Structure 1
């Protein structure tokens, strides 16, 4: 596996090695021992998957507050996404800054987003499926977020990002300036 640390400390892009032949390929997409030694020594307790039918669907920006804070290992199993992580750790030098990468099923790359970050994505192809492992269980009371297009954060979303695709919850999320210090 190839590991690339992105511009914010602790956020990594992971590219599993693919062994290809005329039939297709084989890849280890996750190894607990490798992940613990190279990225983070954390348990994964739940795996989630979403399907977005249309191009430009925006999901996020989400996080879970303590005691159910989550790290996420995100991969696109069908299609492609513009995947975003925003640092909301108040003592961090990169507080309020964001990084993004394109995750595709074709490439098989993944994004590790530790606790203390917002996460969101925009679909780049129709019928996109996203799968992510998390380090803590979902808890409705701990489910929090920030407005996807908060100008203080200034994410440069793809032009196809469709505000009409937002869930009712995501349409009314607070701005970062109005968010309490969770981390």
Structure 2
């Protein structure tokens, strides 16, 4: 069908080859989550490394410490019991948080066990929203809630393209 064969009022057919518009749309749809994966992965790797290399943060007391942060948000937290648990061993909590962020970020960047890594990122973001940024008003000024929402598409879809998960899946199919 060429342009002159299209009935009046009907949309023109799109080119569907690899160079046509349909091919570009399919390519864009397949890779739509890649920018989100890269952003969240880089951000969480950076956050984890930043915490692990910040001696002030990895302290129970003092300016910029995890202990001071947790004591400061305890009264405004949605779940003060979570903050109390962190305050029992603030340095251990800080190290666990940093390592968790680092592993989540690396997993999402590599696309390895992506859904599990994204679930870990969502849980970290949820816990930070319910504790650290719960009292931020209006709610859209707090960043932890949007991070939580950003993880959900990766929890649902994983990383089928440009990922180790996709490579493993293709190799399994090839040998089956």
Greater strand fraction, Structure 1 or Structure 2: 1
After TM superposition, the score normalised by the length of structure 1 is 0.23
Q: Which has the larger radius of gyration?
A: 2
